[in-house]
């Protein structure tokens, strides 16, 4: 499914055409207009217009509710698939290793610009074409078996923006599965640094607290938030305006209802720790 606010019509059409070009799979494609009525798309792409912008994760959930199929693939409106066998190859990879519950490909700028390190969801980035287990995903191109997605409860709708890819990955791990970074599969996305407004810092912090409150055993909640608080202070020590906005969101996260709480099991904590990333940092 595609998600858009209608601000990138050329990119959106490119992404839609890259989906329609996929070989070896049967597709049910829907484009969700987040506060926009989708237009200018190929006839084979169904559309769903939401009356207002409900946020990225809730918009994806709306699209997921109206598509059918054994697998579900999410593609942002500024992303595309350069290979016509991308989906078939990704599905074959998961079928060959059924322990994989969620897959993110390597993300590459189609014009050859330097790819941001944040696209590789590892603390130790290493080589971008090296595959392996990860504990968060870049959300712009993700594939799951439909049953796995449904069992996660979907994207964290209340987050609106930021960190929903961490929660989805954690909830896949909590099913006894793994989240996989496929360095040998490629999705295209322009390497443009997003503009950081005050709401970015606020939601980044609020959702970090909510993420912990929703998903971690109670004893780990303050440890996780404390570790990220220290990280952000170190990162933005020279940016007081960013820190003020961030701590505003941090306070909001503690004071407000994070929504449904589904703490992961201690078995999942142990599995993640053994795989190299305890859910503390």
Q: What per-residue confidence (pLDDT) applies to 200? A: 86
Claim to verify: residue 149 and residue 211 sit in the same structural domain: no
pLDDT per position as a tens digit, 207-261: 999 999 999 999 999 999 999 999 999 988 888 998 999 999 999 999 999 999 9
At 216, phi and psi to the nearest 5? -105, 150
Are the C-beta atoms of 189 and 139 separated by less than 8 Å? no
Q: Look up the domain containing 163 and give its range.
A: 2-188
**Does residue 280 belong to any structural domain of this protein?**
no
Domain CATH for 126: 3.90.550.10
Contacts of 93 (CB under 8 A, 6+ apart): 100, 103, 180, 182, 185
**Does residue 150 belong to any structural domain of this protein?**
yes
Claim to verify: residue 245 and residue 161 sit in the same structural domain: no
Residue 198 has pLDDT above 90, yes or no: no
Residue that finishes a domain, picked among 126, 157, 188: 188
Residue that finishes a domain, picked among 122, 153, 188: 188
Claim to verify: residue 20 and residue 137 sit in the same structural domain: yes
Claim to verify: residue 74 and residue 209 sit in the same structural domain: no
Number of domains in the chain: 2
Closest Cα partner for 36 from 64, 79, 3? 3
Are the C-beta atoms of 184 and 97 separated by less than 8 Å? no
Claim to verify: residue 174 and residue 254 sit in the same structural domain: no
Claim to verify: residue 16 and residue 116 sit in the same structural domain: yes
pLDDT per position as a tens digit, 124-182: 888 999 999 999 999 999 999 999 999 999 999 999 999 999 999 999 999 999 999 99
The proportion of the chain whose per-residue pLDDT surpasses 70, expressed as a percent, equals: 99
Q: What per-residue confidence (pLDDT) applies to 193? A: 72
């Amino acid at each position: 499914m595609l998600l858009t606010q209608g601000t990138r019509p050329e990119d959106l059409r490119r992404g839609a055409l890259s989906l329609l070009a996929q070989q070896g799979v049967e597709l049910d494609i829907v484009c969700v207009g987040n506060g926009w009525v989708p237009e200018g798309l190929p006839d084979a792409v169904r559309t769903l217009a939401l009356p207002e912008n409900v946020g990225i994760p809730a918009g994806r959930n709306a699209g997921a509710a109206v598509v059918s199929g054994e697998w579900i693939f999410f593609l942002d409106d500024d992303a595309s698939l350069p290979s016509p066998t991308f989906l078939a190859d990704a599905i074959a990879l998961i079928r060959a290793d059924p322990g994989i519950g969620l897959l993110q490909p390597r993300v590459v700028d189609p014009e050859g610009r330097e790819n941001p390190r944040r696209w590789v969801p590892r603390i130790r980035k290493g080589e971008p074409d090296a595959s392996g287990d990860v504990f968060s995903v870049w959300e712009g191109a993700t594939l799951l078996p439909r049953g796995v997605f449904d069992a996660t409860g979907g994207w964290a709708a209340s987050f609106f923006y930021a960190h929903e890819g961490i929660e989805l990955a954690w909830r896949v791990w909590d099913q006894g599965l793994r989240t996989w970074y496929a360095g040998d599969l490629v999705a295209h996305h322009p390497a443009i640094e997003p503009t950081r407004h005050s709401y970015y810092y606020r939601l980044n912090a609020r959702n970090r607290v909510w993420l912990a409150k929703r998903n971690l055993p109670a004893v780990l909640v303050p440890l996780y938030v404390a570790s990220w608080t220290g990280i952000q202070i170190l990162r933005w020590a020279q940016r007081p305006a960013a820190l003020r906005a961030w701590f505003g969101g941090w306070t909001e996260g503690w004071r407000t209802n994070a929504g449904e709480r589904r703490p992961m099991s201690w078995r999942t904590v142990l599995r993640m720790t053994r795989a190299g990333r305890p859910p503390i940092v």
